[in-house]
Each structure stands twice: as structure tokens, then as C-alpha cells.
Amino acid sequence: MKTASRFLSLASVCLFAASASAQLAEEFHTWTNTSGKTVEATLISVDAVAKTLKIKTKDGREFDVAIATLSPADFEYAKGRYAAMQAAPAGAPAVAMPATPAGTPPATPPAATPKGGAKTAAVVKKPAPPRPAIAVVPLSKFKAPSANDYLSGVAKVRPRLIHNAAGWAALKGQIAVDPVLAKIMEAMKASGEDLLNDPELTRINGETGGEGPKAVYRMGLLGSLHFGDGELKWQERGARELIALTDKVTFRDWHPDLVDNLTDLVVATSLGYDWFRAGLNAEQAAVIRTYIAEKGIGALIAHLEGEEIPESAKGTSGGQTGTKSKAAPPKAQGKPQAKPDVGKLLPDSKQMAAASALLLSAICLVDEDPSIAKKAADAAAKVFGKGIVRFAPAGVWPEGLQAGETVMDYVAMLSESLKAASGRDLNISLLEGIPQFNTARMHMMGPSGQSFNFGDATSAASTRPWVATWLSGIAGNPGLRAVAAAGKQPVTAAYFGQVGNFIYYNPHAAGDGTADTMDYAQPGGFVATSRSGWEKTDFFVAVKGGENEDTTAQLDIGSFVMEAGGQRWGIELGAEMDKAPGFEVKPGADRTKRFALYLENTLGQNTLVIDGNQQELDAKAAVLLGASTPERGLAVVDMTKAYSKPAKDVHRGIMVVRGEKPYIVVQDDLIMKNTGNITWSMHTMAEITPSGTTAKLTLGGKTLVATIVSPASATFSAGVPPEPASEQSRDLVKANVHVLKASVDGAKGPQSLCITFALDEAPAHTATPVATWVSKK
């Protein structure tokens, strides 16, 4: 039998030897190795990394024995002995554990076994429990935590990241009584078996970084299996992955100039160190802590503070990130983003992720390396506290849903780790905007399953859906379908995936929720949506306000998307190619090059163009009002500051009229300061046939009729985006994108451009000022 297979076979019945052995009376056994030597001793523990057993003789001497040297009989005895250790009742913990994190499923008594054996009963859909009453912390009463706040009260026991021992135990206990959770575990185990047959993550010399997301997945999967399944093979593999990630041969550096990859490697290794610390000896643990501090924490701090990446974070061989090159002066190597204007600019999603990673690492290392933990927390606290408030008031992250989900993923890990380690999360999970994110996220998903991907979002789909599972445990299910088990994930998977649903599983996510309304429009928020229903073919429209001053913002205040009949008619074009000239703008840099790009300027958005781009680069726009009745849903966005030079009182209203024949209204009311031209635009994949005040759009066998209700002088036309400005820019012409335009030439004074959208035929609609859409009480 091969050594690896023998070890995994033995490990399959092991959990934590050290804790299990204390619960059984000593049992002495005569051990015989492959050389025929014998010794009478009792089994104490297993070293998951070294692949050895620790045994103790009657006179108290202890020996490490390689599993590979055991006789077949002793090997089978060891398996049986560990099975008994695992089944032994746990004793009282030596250290009192903090309260179980919020959202952790409570331990439930085993259900009665169905007649006819232990077959699992059929899974029956059930409604989610009533939403809990929570006390949201208003932004005005939130005080950003200090570094000491994050580190004080951290229990010096492991595990403490995301779950403590009690939290993992409760989650494991739930598997036996929850068929969905059991199926998720079954799929995770299948994924884990594939991972065991795959090499540990390594990186060849000079290879571009991209290991971080994979490392997060691997650590998340192996950690969940380690605590949720209990076989020692998961701990053994997790420790090996951790050692490989922090080995100066397999990873000479973590590509310190790539902040996204660096962030995820710090997260993955912090989780791994906390979860698999028992499988490491003192020397291995010291090497890993040093690597995390030098290659990860030091570089992330430099990114957040706009400083040079320290030499200790850089690789030492040819081709590695951060090494000197003849083509560029030394100071240009490994340099992070330009130093941010901390007095004005607010953290973006990348900075928030990096700050969260630093705080996780600080909580992880505070007892074993308090100096580096304090340094990490000091740098991160300054950023995290300023950034977390950006979800307020309505739960919408200004950079878009995809970026918001990214931030929330790291926020979830940090919040639950604080609860597990110290019993409180400093009001992070209840801060205004955080509980609302789940509701906003749900409403920003159209019937087609695509999200409202405004700004630089590169995908129209949800990228980290497990954040909804976590948030359901915080504020209840806002109307989402129950979490369902999926198939196994590939070894190349990135981030948590189904593992996230397991880690954050709770009764609210396990049942089907019911939405309170079909509309979402919170005054002061950035996004408003309305729909005719929750089925795939229903009507849907979403519109944004936003802040043009955001580093990653497009000039897209007022942009919208639209769906009907199972098709997305009005589309957001997303981001430009990342190598397009001027696309990536660093804090404090000249942004005019970015706004010369079609996809980033106002021409490339579904909004108004008056005298070119929205000229106020620091303009802000928010939802002014919203209303929802059985007959209709509506919202109004105040876009005045985005068009303050050519116009005033610029308001965009959206409305979905529900009923047997639903339709959508998009209406712009404004006052022109001087005579000028107004161009209304909507980008679409549909073929367009314009005819005066009517245009027919055809897509997927459906026909959408757009009608200009007012003014009478406005007309429709069809166009295409311009040819790409360079070979580095996206070619929208080849992508078959079209533009529906409505023009009001020579506009002067008050204007009201009202357009309706309906399937097959125009509705009978009378335009009224958006100021009158909601009656004054």
C-alpha cells in the first residue's frame, strides 16, 4: 500500500487526536514496524503534515512513528482506535468560547429515522422564517472602530476566523437534520476528493499572479470539510496547501503589485493558518507567519498608504515581480497606486478588500505576532471605517453590484470572525446600508437573472451569491429562493462558491422568502428599480444616480436598463478594455483621458446628452422619491448637478404600469438655460426600425414598441457606437450593439421628454410632470 493512500485511509477516521485522546482511557497496544521491532505503547496523536503517529510507552516516553512503517495489523488497529477517539464524548473546553456568531444554525436534536431505514426524506420547499427584528445602526451614530477595537478581546484559541469551535460544531450538527445542507456537504466532499488528487498550488518563475482566488476556494473547501466532515485527510491537505503557498521556492513572492491577487492570498493563508494550525509544528508555523507578514501584510499596507512596496515583499529571482529591470528605474518597480488623497477620496472596492484582509490577518496573528497584527490593524482601520459607510443609506455600493458583492464578501468574513473571536462585530453587520444590501441586490437583478451592471462592472451576473446567504442570517430573507445544493466544483474554482453557502448556512437562507414589494426606491439612494412581477417574462426597469467623482465612475448619471418578455432591451455596456488608453485612472490623476473613451463618457450611456459629456465631474445624483401601489411602481432621480451648466431642475422618472398589459415609462423633465439640443439614448442588442415618434425593436422573436409621448417635436433615430479609438478598445460595432436615440433640437425653457415601452403595441399613456407622479399629502 502506498504511503499517501495509507495515510489518507487512516486520516479518514480522524478528527483532532489531541482532543479525542483525552476522552478515552489509555489503551496500550504492542506495535510492530516493518522491520519486526516491537514496543508497547498507547496512541496519542497524528501529525497531519509529517504523516506520523505519536505513541507513549508505560514509562512516559513518547515516540513519533512514520505511518509508512506500520505493519498492516497495526495500521488497521490505528484506524479503529481513532474511530473510537472521534466517537468519544467531548469534555468541557479548557477556555470559555465566545458566543456563537449570528447566523450560525443552532444545534438541533436529530430527527426521527423514517420507517424503512435511514433513507433521507424528500426535500420539501418551505417558507423562510419571519424576518427578525433588528436595530439598524444609523450612519449618524456609527463611530469607525480603531485598530484596538478590532483586536481587543480576541480569544487566544483556535479556530476563531469566521467560526469558533462552537460555531463549527453547530454547523456540523445541522448536517444530520437538514437534507439540503447534507447534500451541500456531499457535493463538497466530492469536490474535496478531486482536490486531493490535484497538486498543491504553485507558481512557476515569472508567471502572472492569479492564484489568490483559487487559494481562497481551496482553503474554504478544505476548512469546511475539516470541521464539517471531520476526516483528518482534509486537515493534512489544508496544511500542505498552506505550506506550499508560503514556500519561497514555490512562491518566491505573491506578485505584490497585483493588489487583488495579493489580497486573496493574505485572506487564504490567514484562514488556513487559523484552521490548520493544529497540523503545523512550531517551525512550520513560524515560517508561515513570517511569510504572511513580509510578502502579504507589508505589501498591502503599502498599497493602502500609497507607499513603495517594501523590498521584503518582492521576489529574489529573475522574472519575479518587483525585481530590478534595465528598462525602468528602480523606483518604478512594484510601485502601488498613486498616493490617495485621504482627505477627499473614499475607499474603492479594491481598498476595502485589502483593508478587510489586513484585519483578518491581524485577528489571526494577534496572539502569536502582536506587533505585525497591530501594524496591519492600524493601516486597515483608517480605510475600512471610511469605506463601510458607503453602502448607506440604501444598500447600494457606488461602484456597482459586482463591486458591492466583492466588498460584502470580505465584510462577511470580517464580521463573523470578530463575532467568533470576541463575541461582537463592532456594529458592522447592522450598520445602515449593510442589512439593506440583500434587498437592494435582489431588486437589482432583472427577471432574466442579469443584474443592473452600471459603471465599470464587467459582468451582468451575480459573482458572489453566498453573500446573500450571510445577509439572510443577519436581517432575514427579503424574498430570495432557498439555497439549493449544486454539483461538485472544479479544482480550478475561485472564491467560496457553494462553500460560502455552507459556511453561512442559516434557516432564513434555507427557506423561500417573500418580497414585500416589486419596487425599490429609497430617497437618498443611488439606484431605483420597478417591475411588473417576479417571473422571467415580466417588465423591469432600473435607473441610477451616483457620484461622478468616484475614481472608477463613468459619466453615467441617469443611465438605466430595461427588460420585458424575457429579453433585456436596454443594456449597460460595462467597462472598457483594461488596456485601453486612459481607462485605468489612479487617485489624483487627470481623468480626461478616461472620459474620451466611448464606454466611459456620457455618449456610451443610456442617459441624456446635452452639449456633450456630463461636465460636472464631481456631480452627485440620488433618488428623490419613490412610490409603490398594486397598479404601478415609480421613482424619480434628481440629475440636476450632472447637467448644471446647460440646464436646471433635471429629473428622470421611471415607472412600470402593472396590469394585464404592462408597460414602462422613462420621462425626463428639465429646464434649459439656453437654446440647445437634447439627445436621449438607449443601447440595445435589438434591431431598430425608427419611424418618427415610434420605433420598433426586435430581439429573440419579440417586438418592443417605443413611443415618444412628448414633446411632439421629438423624433427617433437609430445608430451604432463609433469605431474603437484604438486596438486596445472594445469594438461595439462587431458586437452588434445598436443605439436608439430620441432628439429634441432647438430645445429652450421647460422640456418634458416622455417615452413609453410595451410589447407589440403602444399603450395609451398621458404624460404628466414627474413632480405630480406622487400626490402631496
pLDDT one-digit tens code per residue, 251-305: 889 999 999 999 999 999 999 999 999 999 999 999 999 999 999 999 999 999 9
Q: Please give the full DSSP string across 58-87, using - where no structure is assigned.
A: TTS-EEEEEGGGB-HHHHHHHHHHHHHHHH
Which band of pLDDT confidence, cut at 50, 70 and 90, is reported for residue 51?
Answer: low
Which ranges constitute the DSSP H helices of 423-465?
434-443
| pTM metric for this prediction | 0.82
pLDDT for residue 82: 57
Q: C-alpha grid cell for residue 85?
A: 477517539
CB 165 within 8 A of CB 228: no
Which band of pLDDT confidence, cut at 50, 70 and 90, is reported for residue 208?
Answer: low
CB 85 within 8 A of CB 21: yes
- DSSP, collapsed to helix, strand or coil, labels residue 160 as coil
Percent of the chain whose pLDDT exceeds 90: 69
Distance CA(41)–CA(33), nearest Å, equals 13
Q: pLDDT, tens digit, for every residue of 308-339?
A: 999 999 886 433 443 333 223 333 334 444 45
CB 71 within 8 A of CB 62: no
DSSP state of 325: B
Average pLDDT over residues 710-716: 96
CB 628 within 8 A of CB 518: yes
Q: pLDDT, tens digit, for every residue of 444-471?
A: 999 999 999 998 887 777 889 999 999 9
Average pLDDT over residues 223-239: 97
Q: Which residue has the higher pLDDT, 665 or 615?
A: 665
CB 758 within 8 A of CB 661: yes
Residue 518, Cβ neighbours under 10 Å: how many? 22
CB 693 within 8 A of CB 745: no
Sequence-distant (≥ 6) Cβ neighbours of residue 699 within 8 angstroms: 567, 569, 684, 685, 686, 687
For the chain, what is the mean pLDDT?
Answer: 85
Q: State in Å, rounded, how far the first CA of the chain is from the last one.
A: 82
How distant, in Å, are the alpha carbons of 559, 625, 655, 762 from that of 773?
A: 20, 10, 9, 21
Distance CA(339)–CA(219), nearest Å, equals 33
Residue 216 confidence (pLDDT) above 60:
yes
How distant, in Å, are the alpha carbons of 59, 112, 206, 253, 357 from that of 202?
A: 45, 47, 12, 11, 21
pLDDT for residue 602: 93
Sequence-distant (≥ 6) Cβ neighbours of residue 69 within 8 angstroms: 33, 34, 35
Q: pLDDT, tens digit, for every residue of 645-669?
A: 999 999 999 999 999 999 999 999 9
CB 559 within 8 A of CB 606: yes
Residue 405 confidence (pLDDT) above 50:
yes
Which band of pLDDT confidence, cut at 50, 70 and 90, is reported for residue 106?
Answer: very low
**C-alpha radius of gyration, the chain, whole number:** 29
Q: pLDDT, tens digit, for every residue of 72-90?
A: 788 778 766 755 654 444 3
Distance CA(147)–CA(718), nearest Å, equals 56
Average the pLDDT over each of 148-157, 204-213, 277-286 and give the range with the smallest value.
204-213
Average pLDDT over residues 703-720: 97
Nearest alpha-carbon partner for 198 in 243, 240, 247, 261: 240
pLDDT for residue 284: 96
